[in-house]
Each structure stands twice: as structure tokens, then as C-alpha cells.
Amino acid sequence: MSNIKKLLGNRIREIRRSKNLTQEKLAELVGIGTPNISYIETGKFAPSMDTLEKIAEVLEVKPFELYMFEPLKPANELRQELIKAMDDENLLKLLYKFYLTIK
């Protein structure tokens, strides 16, 4: 079984629980069967892109947030790391392109 499917499933479960949603309610709001949510959360199935988009919408997160498997560092550490990274001109351009796609 793919590790990324397990990580994605765990992340969906974590966000679903933080929103106090049951698997049944999430399935209803997404428009799929409850067993499918269970299979996604256990990593047995990978959701289609359409289903993933609906899950993100229902959970009120951006789709990329479903792939944020590790917690972020504190904001001050992230800021310092990004400032240092911007010394590299190519990385600065890449960061700017990424910024434009999400703003």
C-alpha cells in the first residue's frame, strides 16, 4: 500500500475530526459513500481529483493543505528561513511564482 495514500488519509481524518465531522457527514457532503471515506482515510483508496477537491471544499481547506503531512515550524522560524533562501536569485523567482499562484 502506498505510503502517500496513508499519509493523505491520515491528514483528511485529522482535519475532519478537527471540524467535528463524522465520516458519514463528510461522505454526505462530498457526495460519496461512507465506506469510500473510510477507505480513503485508511489509505486503501486514493480519491479522484474531483473527490479530493470536494473533500477540501467541505473541510474548508485548500487542496494542497491536504498534503501538508508534517506540522510547520513557528512563523518566526519560517520567516527567517525564507529570508535566507531569497539570497538565491533562482529560488527567489520560484518563490515569487508560487506566491502568485496562491495569492
Homologous superfamily of 3-67: lambda repressor-like DNA-binding domains (1.10.260.40)
* Gap between the terminal Cα atoms of the chain: 35
What is the pLDDT averaged over residues 15-39?
A: 97
**Would you say residue 85 has pLDDT above 90?**
no
**Would you say residue 102 has pLDDT above 70?**
yes
- Kindly list the domain boundaries of the chain, sorted by start residue: 3-67, 72-103
Least confident of 8-22, 29-43, 81-95: 81-95
**Would you say residue 1 has pLDDT above 70?**
no
What is the pLDDT averaged over residues 57-86?
A: 90
Nearest to 56 by CA among 8, 24, 103, 22: 8
